[in-house]
Each structure stands twice: as structure tokens, then as C-alpha cells.
A and B are shown apart, each in its own frame.
Chain A
């Protein structure tokens, strides 16, 4: 058995970096913070790589050939009672090790990229400090040994996300977006917390290894019908999924993610594309055995929500003009796909194909979506606009960005042999075994994905020639190098035989490409690309015509199906009017009234009695002497026992 306890440093280093940069960052030149943060993260990245190598290749496996799932490090943090204690530690199993790689790689790239992108910004050190805080929270989340540790880091992730979205805190829209993100995810986390409490109440443990092990208390307890015909366990898992859906921006809690694009672009790449938003997927994957065996209804909900979110967001993505928003909706769509993959999956072996595919897609998606965001950042950096209407014909000005962006687009569109092809194909394969309807829905989603990505690509790099105030120029090396590295990842990540490493029961199996699914999927993707090329390669009026032909549907899609308006309606019109107003009235008139009344009475009384204090010595003396005499009378004559 190899000693893995050094993995605690993967957690401790980023928080150390956060403290150092946060406290001392302003003492030095801003670039020092960048270098310290990036090199610190480089060390963490190396540690993660070593851990992954040792875990997958050196560490001996269990008797049945599966990967071990064990605590590399554990510490009792809050010792409430003998039974109830909250631990902090590092749990190693295939998905947490995979997430370590994903997070540290993307985070390292983003750190490097940010040195160039954020150059000269006010708050450069603060930015790096917050990136470190985020890395800490996210790493803590994925290696959590128990569900409560996960919750703690989950909230920390929410906080750092809030701080980073609101990085430009002088901008009203950024402040509003950060508040929105925080409140929406917080609301969802309420569900998560309820879920945790129910789950731990029923099973009597927080521990992941116990919960997901073969003799988990979750399998036997809480199975009785509790509410609306569903068992306690099912409800608790639904609540837990609510938290996951909030963080992962699943319909209908997705509204914060597009607004979160107000943050700096590297942040969007790191948090809102590659790492934090997949926390929900990770959460479901972490508790997957419970979902499969104890709460299949909850798993169905995961499937439906995932499928609906993916098609819903894909349609919206086709109509948006802000390139970061297109990417945001694309992210929602892709995460929906991952959720769908988990939802259709069974447990063990080939049954667990969906699980494996989902994790695989999470892995590949992190690369190409981070790449897309960073590319978008480079483009915005060059053009100083977020809107694709302001762009066009950039392929000559930005050759490296162009090439890497194209790779990412091809990868997400599922063109073989790039990363997205393999993972998406596996998800579709898993879906086809479960539900034919949803299989075709996802097929359409992959077509739409190809379409909107290439719509983006063509409008930015080809299309009409645009007049620019100053000729856009390629970004500096610190920005292009991460782009190239991530492009390499997007090219090659799909070739990893993922089913050898990450599976639902940790037993490797061999997965094959199912040509019956791969070929139609590729064809659909290519169709999307061709249609996009047809629409946007040259400047034409076809898109407008199509847009008009679809009438109210496209209008609705353009307005994001009025979900934001619906929320506003519910909150402003219904909650404010019928709940908040009466509560506020009660607070102002009854609660405050009681307080004011007390103050008023005190004031009045004192006004009355302060005249007693006349400053007239003889009056005081009179009162004093009469009082003394009365006391004498009382104690000497009246109160004689």
C-alpha cells in the first residue's frame, strides 16, 4: 500500500497561497502575485499528476480487480458526539482522482492565461488570491470524504464564485450577476442541506465510503413510503440533486449561469465551464450507488432534467449574440448531457456505460469548453466587444486563437477523432439502451451543438469583413500557450481508454465504438456544421429569414424562453406582494410598532417624571424627609410583626 497522505498538501497549498497572496499581494508588484499563484498551482498540478499515476498504475487493485476507494488522509474536525462527528480528509477513488487532474490542469491553464489577460487590471493580486481560494474549495469538494465536508466546500465554492463574478465590483451588472448567482445557488443549496440532513438522519452516517459501499445503510433504511408515494431515501436524493442542479445550472435553476459571464473571462472558463458547474454532476456520480439502488425515481428525475436542460439550452444558444452567453448556454446543454448520461446509467459493467460516459464527457468537456472560453477571452481581448455582430473575418488577425478555437468547436461538435466525439458517442449509446425518445432528443442536441458552435466560429472568424478601430492582434504568449496546451487536450483526451479507469463499480471494462450510433451522430454533427457554414460563412440574410420563419418560437428562444421574466414575475409579483409585503408590514407595524411603542412610553414617562427633578433643593429635601418619616412610621408602627 502506497502512502497517499501527502495528498493533504493538494488541499493545503491553495489555501496557503490564498492567504499569502491575499494578505501580502499588495506589498509587491502585481505580477509577483501572478507568478506566485501560478507556480504554486503548478506544484499542485504536479502533485495531482503524481497521485493519478500512482493511483491508476502503481497502486495494487482490490481482489476483484477494481480500483480501491480509500481515505488517504482523514482528520476529525468537529467532534460533536461519539456518533455525530464531521471529518475533513482526502478520499481517493477514480472519479476524485480524475477531477483532481481536470481541476488542476484547467486551473493551471487559467492562471497562466490570466497573467496575460488580467495584465494591468486593478485588483490583479485580488484576482489571483480568489483563484487560489476557488482552487482550494473545488479541490476540497472533489476529495471530500463525507457529505458534510462536501457541503462545506460546496458553499466555499459558491462564495469564491460569487467573489469572482463580482470581480468588477464597480460595475452594476457584475454586482447584480454575482448576487443572482449566489442567491440562486444558495436557494438550491438549501435543498442540498435538507437532503443531507434527511440522508444522514436515515442512514446515521456522513461518510461516503460507508454510504456507497456494498453494505450501505442507504440500501436498507428509509425505503418506506413517506410522502407522495416516494420513499424517504428518494426524497432525500431528490433534494440532494436540487443542490446539484443549482450548482450545475440545470433547468429551472440555470438562470444565474448566463449572467455569471459578467465575471472576467478566465473565471468563466475555470468556474463556469470546466469545474464548478460540473460539481452537480460530480455530486450525483459520488452518490451514484444510492441513486441506482435506493432511489431510481430520483435518478429518472436526473435523466429528465438533464435531457430537458440540454435541448432547452441548445435552442437558446442558437439565438444569442453575446459570444460568452452562447458558450454559457452551451455549457448548460453539455452538463445536461452529462446528467442525462448519469440518469440513463445502471450499475456495474456495461450497465454502467452511461456513468462512465458521463464522467468521460465531463473530462473532455473541461478541456474544450475551457479552451472555448479562453479563446473567446482572447477574441474579446482583441476586439473589445462581446457581441458577434462586432466581429468577423478574424482568422487572419488571430491565427493561433483561430486554430485552437476551431479544434475546440470540432471537439464539441463531435467530429472524430477529437475529444467530444468519443464521450458524446458513449452517452448516446447509453441513452439508446434506455429511452429511444431521449436518444433522439440528444441526437438533435448534438446537431444543434454543432450548429451553434460553428455559427459562432464562422461569425467570428469568417463572415463579413469588419472595420475595426485598431487592427486586432494576437494575444500575448501567456495567453496563447494555455490555448495550445488545452487544444492538445481537446485533440487527444478522447483517445484515453476511459472505461479502463473510471467506471461505476470501479471495475475496468472494455467499451467499443458502436458504429450504429457513432455514424448517425457524426452525420448529424456534420450536418449542423454544414448548415452553419451555409448560413454564416458568407454574409447572407438566410439567418434572419429563418429566424423570422420560425416566428414566435425563435422570439421566445431569443428571450431565453422568458425564464428570467417568469422568475421575476414569481418573485416580484407573487412572493413580494403576497408574502414579503405582509411580512414587511408585520415587521414594520407589529414588531417595530411594539418596539417604538415601548420607546414612546418610556419617552413620555420620562417627560412626565423629569419635572420631579426640578433642581429645587428644598423640594428634594421635603420628599426625602417625608419618605424617611413614612418609613419610620411603616417599620416602627405599622409593620410590627
Chain B
């Protein structure tokens, strides 16, 4: 399946490239844009972005595999990142982990059967004051209990 940016995203990228002295510096923004559009970084995306920015494909692949936010396969329609680091662990993140496992019927890194959710454990998200916390898509939710997570999941409509 070939990939290319929407005309709108292509314009965005061209604007971004102009910010830097070196074209390659736009690589992370370019990949972020592609992931927003497709949902993950496929090998075709790597080829396409490499061509646009004049970067060897292997270098693009190196970057994609280095950073944790790049997904190499489709995730659920909504993706959950549960913090597992010290402050969240002290406040019971393991119990939330158990709850996600059980309520979504999907293990870490898997997609729920209805395709709606996927989840993973991540390192500190910089919100320890509301530990234990998680990120659902773009938003942070904290002071979690099993009941609260249930509520959060219920409020996701699509």
C-alpha cells in the first residue's frame, strides 16, 4: 500500500522544512505528521519520507525504531499509555494494569477484539502529582482507581 501526504500535510511539511538549516532536521516532524495521518509508520511511510527529505531509508528506519512513540503497526482506535514508573508504582499502578488487562481483554501491546483499544506500559509521563496516571490518546487522566478507569473507558464514544 503506497503512502503519500494529503495536500494539506504536504504544505505543512514544506513549511516545517524551511525552519531548519538542514532538511533532515524535519524528520521527526515529518514522521509525526505521517503517523497522525495513517495511525502508524509503515515501511511505505519510511520510503516516502526518506524520499521527500533526501535521507537514506535505513536512517529513517533507525529513527522510527529508536523512539517509543512511533508505532510500527496499527494500534487500537484509542491508545492508552499507563505509567509504570516510581511515583505511579508507589500509588498502585499495578492494580490499574491488572484492570486494563482484564477489562479490555487484551494484553499489553495487543488490540482489543472490537479494535477500539490498545494499551501499553510506559515510563514517566511527567504527571506524578496525579499518580497513578495514564494517557488516553492526547489527554492525561490521574488519581486512578479501577472505578475511575472504568468511567474513563465508558466515556469514549467511538
A binds B: no
